[in-house]
Amino acid sequence: MKKQIHLHISILFFALVLTIIFGNMLETPSEKILEFFYGKLYKISKFDGISYDANNMPLIDYKSFKGIHIGRVYNPLVVGWKTNEIIDKKIITRKDTLTILNFADNLVLQDYGFEENTGLLKHNYGWPRCNIIDYYYSCLSQGRALQVMLAAFKLSGDSIYLANGKRLVMGFFIDIENDGLREVLDDSSWWYEEFASKSVPVPFVLNGMISSVLCLNEFYSVTGDTNAWILSKNGFNAIVKKLPQFDRNGYAFYDLLGNVCTPLYEKYTISLLKDLQRIKVDSTLDFYQTKWEEYQNNTIFIKKVLDQRSRRSLGMIAVQFISVFAIVELFGMLFFYIFYKRRKRI
């Protein structure tokens, strides 16, 4: 009996050591583990549950969040993602071209949330994660819609898509308090919000903001549109101004509500900062990009857990430890049975 107790204690200690040693290797989890921890949010980030309406426009099924039913809805972000998926193909067929033109034509219709008077794309549903219960506007959706217009123009040569893109650009000038998506930090620093609603405090979602500035800059580089340039420049300034607030001594915050980036968004945010520095090199951007990247690559996972206790880090270390312990326990008991029990019989 004592030998078995000693064996279990040894296995427990050995499992802990292995978890510490191999923590970094296990830190980037499989999709199944991500889905287990982040549930619907992870599935949504992978754009699961997409269907199409009679006009071949994609809908995404958000089902329910925090007891609030959303269901199948239109999201310009999904349209942009589907467009980029086609553009990234080696060969673009005529069918692909017609699909993108159809996307671009429908995005500026009222049926799909476009507001003629403001140039904004309205999400006619809430977002419970940010405590939005009615509707919101999104800089990320607005930016992806710009990319759809650029793709349609490049494939067709029709300037109507550039004109529609310029209408979308004007939407970035509308302040959140006036049912828009802009938060003015100062005269030359403007923040564009991914989940913008005048009914809640500004979440300041970093990846959506950076993505929208990149989209605005892309539109400016193709069209030379002055408004896109002003918005891109002032958006860049806002990111530089706010970025230090997103640092958690290695981890990047997803927003300024205290939510830490998931493993997917950590890498994504770092890659976006690299893309942003292709527009203009900045010491603040470079500092935090390097800091977050080095911390992720060079810090053992157990130290991250001790430094920053979060649901994510504690959950991941628990899964790792339980998995390692179960494996070591299995082999330990097998070893005990084969060598100790049999030798005792002899």
pLDDT in tens, the chain (346 residues): 555 565 556 656 665 565 555 555 445 554 454 444 445 544 444 556 789 999 999 999 988 877 788 899 999 999 999 999 999 998 999 999 999 999 999 999 988 899 999 999 999 999 988 999 999 999 999 999 999 999 999 999 999 999 999 999 999 999 999 999 999 999 999 999 999 999 999 999 999 999 999 999 999 999 999 999 999 999 999 999 999 999 988 888 999 998 888 767 888 899 999 999 999 999 999 999 999 998 888 777 666 666 656 666 666 667 666 766 667 666 666 766 666 555 555 5
State residue 251's pLDDT score: 81
State residue 265's pLDDT score: 80
Q: What is the DSSP letter of 221?
A: H
H or E element: which one contains 182?
strand 182-186
Are the beta carbons of 29 and 23 closer than 8 angstroms? Answer: no
> What 3-state DSSP class applies to 300?
coil
Are the beta carbons of 163 and 223 closer than 8 angstroms? Answer: no
State residue 31's pLDDT score: 46
State residue 96's pLDDT score: 97
| Residue with token string 């979440």 | 203
Sheet containing strand 72-73, edge to edge, reads: 50-52, 58-61, 72-73
State residue 299's pLDDT score: 74
